[in-house]
Structure 1
Amino acid sequence: MKLLQITDIHLTALGKTIGGRDPNANFAKALNHAITHHPDAEALIITGDLSDWGDAADYERLKAYLGEVALPVHLCIGNHDDRQTFLQVFPETEGSDGFVQSVIPLSLGHGILLDTWGQDTHAGQFCEKRAAWLEQTLDTLEGPVWIFMHHNPVPIEIAPMDEIMLLDADRFAATVAPHAGKIRHIFHGHCHMHLSGSLHGIPFSAPRGTNHAGWPDFAATKLLSGADLTESYSVIFASETTTMVHMVEYGYAGEIRGEGSPDYADWDQLTMVR
């Protein structure tokens, strides 16, 4: 199974930039790169912050972009989004209790898309209703299960970022822990950093995003830190026994060198590129 994850696209009014970068152009570039190089992917999941200000025009533009994509696309919402405005443009994504969450069939198990959006906050929310839905869904589904969400469910140990992580992290952890044997991976965004780790033995990962990048300033106390790192998305490969996640830095414009053969017999100090 091959899946694509794009996150934190932050579409905004045409002509406006974020961190000196054009989110619309960068998302279009990411989308083109992903579907050109990975036309065999069975689905693309975009894990939130679809719009920078939750504007309807951004969602309409996103809908137009996705109308050109042949493979199935599934959407989560993040803290920069506005749920009601989003649902006006993408009404088919509304699930139980009005949340933007659903189950998607995959060739290897199922994906679960979660809604961690909260009103008037950048922090993630996972209320009792959402927990009950996830618990019932996990009880019903056979494994493997792949969870997609916006907010990080585990602290990254950078104080300003952890103030806006999934605040109901204990409730989320208690919900997924009994099903750790069937949940193969959790995919999130939000932090604008390439991250990986585990929660109750369940691996998780996040790519950097398609526009502005974060920076791990562990001494920060109030402000989030950014850096001019390359934009990225994830390519996910999975089999019955393995999961591999690549971060593809599609924004890289430098040289890609051929450094030699993997055949040990061809290794030579005089000819190997170093």
Structure 2
Amino acid sequence: MKLLQMTDIHLTTPGQTIGGRDPNANFARALEHAMQRHADAEALFITGDLSDWGDAADYQLLKAQIADLPLPVHLCIGNHDDRPTLLEAFPELEGDRGFVQAVAPLSLGHAITLDTWGPESHAGHFCEGRADWLARQLTALPGPLWIFMHHNPVPLGIAPMDRIMLLNSARFAETVAPHRDKIAHIFHGHCHLPLSGSLRGIPFSAPRGTNHAGWPDFSAKRLLSAADLAEAYAVIFAEPFHTMVHMVEFGYDGEVRREGSPDYADWDRLTMVR
């Protein structure tokens, strides 16, 4: 099974930039890059911050950009989004108790998209209602299960980012832990950093994002840090007993070299390109 994850696309008013970059153009570039190389993917998941300011026009632009893609697109909500405005554009996303949460069948198990949005907050929220819904899905569905969400459920060790992580992370951990044997992977965004780790034995990962990039400044106390790194998305290969996640830096425009054969017999000090 092949899946795609894009995150933090931050669509905005045409002509406006974030970090000197055009998020609308970069999302279009990401889609073009992915469809040229990975049109055989089973689904695309976009894990939040669909809009930069939660404007209705941004969601209409998103709807137009994904309308003709040759694969299903599943959307998560992020802290930069506005839930009522998002649901006006995509009413089919409204789930139990009005949250943007859903289950999508895959050729290998099921994907679960979670709502970690809260009003007037950049931090993530996971209330009892959301926990109850997730617990019911985890109990009812056979594995493997793939969870997609916006906010990171584990602290980064970077003080400004940890202030806006999933605030109810203990509740989330307690909800997923009993089902660790059938949850294959958790995918998130929010941090604009390539991340990987585990939560109660469940692996998780995040790619950088399709526009602006973060930087892991572990000495930061108040402000977030950014860097001029290449825009990226994730390509996920999954089999019954293993998962591989690649971060593809589609924004890199430098040379890609062919540096030699993997066959040991071809390795030679005089001919190997190093």
TM-score by length of 2: 1.00
Q: Over residues 181-211 of structure 1, what are the superposed CA-to-partner deviations in whole Å (9 max), with x where a residue is unaligned?
A: 0000000000000000000000000000000
Tell me what 2:12 maps to.
12
Tell me what 1:85 maps to.
85
Work out the CA distance in 1 between the residues paired with 2:80 and 2:228. 21
Work out the CA distance in 2 between the residues paired with 1:242 and 1:163. 33
Q: What are the equivalent positions in structure 2 for 1:250-265 lying under 5 Å apart?
A: 250-265=250-265
Question: 2:92 aligned with 1:70, yes or no?
Answer: no
Structure 2 residue identity aligned to 1:210: T
Q: Over residues 199-251 of structure 1, what are the superposed CA-to-partner deviations in whole Å (9 max), with x where a residue is unaligned?
A: 00000000000000000000000000000000000000000111000000000
Tell me what 1:272 maps to.
272
Tell me what 1:170 maps to.
170
Q: Quote the sequence identity (%).
A: 74
Question: 2:195 aligned with 1:195, yes or no?
Answer: yes
Work out the CA distance in 2 between the residues paired with 1:129 and 1:202. 22
Tell me what 1:30 maps to.
30
Work out the CA distance in 2 between the residues paired with 1:256 and 1:138. 42
Tell me what 2:215 maps to.
215
Report runs of 4+ in structure 1 exceeding 2 Å deviation: none
Tell me what 1:48 maps to.
48
Structure 1 residue identity aligned to 2:217: D
Instruction: For residue 160 of structure 2, give the secondary structure of its aligned residue in structure 1.
Output: helix
Structure 1 residue identity aligned to 2:182: K
Instruction: For residue 111 of structure 2, give the secondary structure of its aligned residue in structure 1.
Output: strand
Deviation at 1:137, TM superposition (A): 0.7
Work out the CA distance in 2 between the residues paired with 1:184 and 1:77. 22
Q: Over residues 17-41 of structure 1, what are the superposed CA-to-partner deviations in whole Å (9 max), with x where a residue is unaligned?
A: 0000000000000011111100110
Work out the CA distance in 2 between the residues paired with 1:32 and 1:81. 24
Tell me what 2:146 maps to.
146
Work out the CA distance in 1 between the residues paired with 2:258 and 2:36. 22
Structure 2 residue identity aligned to 1:12: T
Work out the CA distance in 1 between the residues paired with 2:35 and 2:167. 34
Work out the CA distance in 2 between the residues paired with 1:68 and 1:193. 29
Work out the CA distance in 2 between the residues paired with 1:258 and 1:122. 43
Work out the CA distance in 2 between the residues paired with 1:117 and 1:165. 11
Q: Over residues 30-53 of structure 1, what are the superposed CA-to-partner deviations in whole Å (9 max), with x where a residue is unaligned?
A: 011111100110000000000000
The runs of 5 or more residues in structure 2 that have no matched partner are none
Q: What CA RMSD, in Å, does the superposition of the two structures yield over aligned residues?
A: 0.4
Q: Over residues 156-187 of structure 1, what are the superposed CA-to-partner deviations in whole Å (9 max), with x where a residue is unaligned?
A: 00000000000000000000000000000000
Aligned residues: 274
Q: What are the equivalent positions in structure 2 for 1:242-257 lying under 5 Å apart?
A: 242-257=242-257
Work out the CA distance in 1 between the residues paired with 2:31 and 2:153. 26
Instruction: For residue 21 of structure 2, give the secondary structure of its aligned residue in structure 1.
Output: coil
Deviation at 1:59, TM superposition (A): 0.3
The runs of 5 or more residues in structure 1 that have no matched partner are none
Deviation at 1:68, TM superposition (A): 2.2
TM-score by length of 1: 1.00
Work out the CA distance in 2 between the residues paired with 1:117 and 1:35. 29
